[in-house]
């Protein structure tokens, strides 16, 4: 059976690695990237490189987008040189970006008018799992389209789940981002208690990581807090964007989320102090500033 031709738009930290895994799985590919180094790297691998989303769509059966937010996805899909201008009926779009669910449903509706099917399929796992092809992928859309695209999704992810209809994948991702944000925040806050009480946070981490308090967030992010290395795996500004989408969803569905709202304010504070590209585990900096300590400094 001939594999479907893939178009990929958005080859940043995550998208580039996802696209490379699709190449390893034997898919042919057309890409559009604003990065010259990325264009050259993929061209050297035999990938067709074009200039507009419309050109990508014209040459692809399944178009994948991995973009920063709702405005970028909307422009790439529905804009003047967007996918919708040339995409053929029967094609599928998989948006792996994390965007506002309401926008996602609207874009899917516009594509459906052209006979094009869309999955909203945001991912979780960060750069490392994007590279290893073990991302968690939460999809929203029609079951038939999901089954058609399952092999493509499984080339990029390990846990691939159809959550529900259009927009359900984005809701699942927002739930994920809330839990991750609050989890990282409490790790930073609680470790500051240990530090100010004169107990080495590293030893606390070793003692509790295997118990009920243990989590993937603590395992991944606590060592960053102890080293002070906040080079981005997941950029803080992107997590802030996701939590702002959560607040939009809260208004849409009349949900109160005070914990998430509080952590959003903390992350915005860190973005102002440390910059937007700080790793999202850098939310610990908020508590370090508040308490006048550094989790990265060993006491003598």
Instruction: Show Cβ contacts of residue 154 under 8 Å, excluding neighbours closer than 6 positions.
Output: 160
Query: Cα(295)–Cα(282) distance, rounded to whole angstroms?
Result: 11
Here the tokens at position 140 are 């929203």
The answer to whether residue 173 is catalytic is yes
Strands (E) in the chain, as ranges, are 6-9, 29-32, 48-49, 62-65, 92-95, 117-120, 123-124, 135-140, 157-164
SS3 68: coil
Q: How far apart are CA 174 and CA 249, in angstroms?
A: 9
Q: Tokens 């939460």 belong to which residue?
A: 138
Q: Which residues contact 175 (CB under 8 A, 6 or more apart)?
A: none
**Which one of 16, 173, 221, 235 is the catalytic residue?**
173
Active site residues: 173
């Amino acid at each position: 059976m001939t594999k479907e031709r893939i178009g990929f738009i958005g080859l940043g930290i995550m998208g580039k690695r996802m696209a490379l895994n699709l190449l390893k799985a034997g898919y042919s590919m057309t890409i559009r990237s604003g990065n010259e180094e990325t264009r050259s790297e993929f061209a050297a691998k035999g990938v067709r490189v074009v200039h507009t989303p419309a050109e990508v769509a014209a040459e692809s059966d399944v178009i994948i987008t991995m973009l920063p937010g709702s405005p970028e996805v909307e422009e790439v899909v529905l804009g003047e040189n967007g996918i919708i201008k040339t995409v053929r009926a029967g094609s599928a779009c998989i948006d792996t970006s994390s965007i506002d669910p309401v926008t996602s449903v609207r874009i899917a509706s516009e594509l459906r008018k052209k006979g094009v099917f869309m999955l909203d399929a945001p991912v979780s796992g960060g750069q490392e799992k994007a590279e290893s092809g073990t991302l968690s992928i939460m999809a929203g859309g029609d079951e038939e389209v999901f089954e058609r695209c399952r092999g493509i999704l499984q080339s990029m992810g390990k846990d691939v789940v159809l959550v529900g209809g259009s927009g359900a994948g984005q809701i699942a991702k927002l739930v994920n981002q809330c839990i991750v944000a609050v989890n990282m925040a409490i790790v930073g806050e609680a470790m500051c208690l240990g530090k100010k009480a004169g107990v080495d946070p590293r030893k606390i981490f070793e003692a509790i990581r295997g118990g009920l308090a243990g989590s993937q967030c603590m395992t991944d992010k606590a060592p960053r807090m102890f080293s002070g290395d906040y080079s981005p795996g997941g950029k803080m500004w992107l997590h802030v964007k996701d939590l702002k989408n959560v607040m939009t969803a809260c208004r849409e569905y009349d949900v109160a989320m005070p914990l998430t709202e509080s952590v959003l304010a903390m992350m915005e504070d860190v973005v102002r102090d440390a910059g937007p590209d700080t790793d999202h585990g850098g939310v610990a900096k908020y508590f370090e500033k508040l308490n006048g300590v550094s989790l990265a400094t060993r006491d003598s």
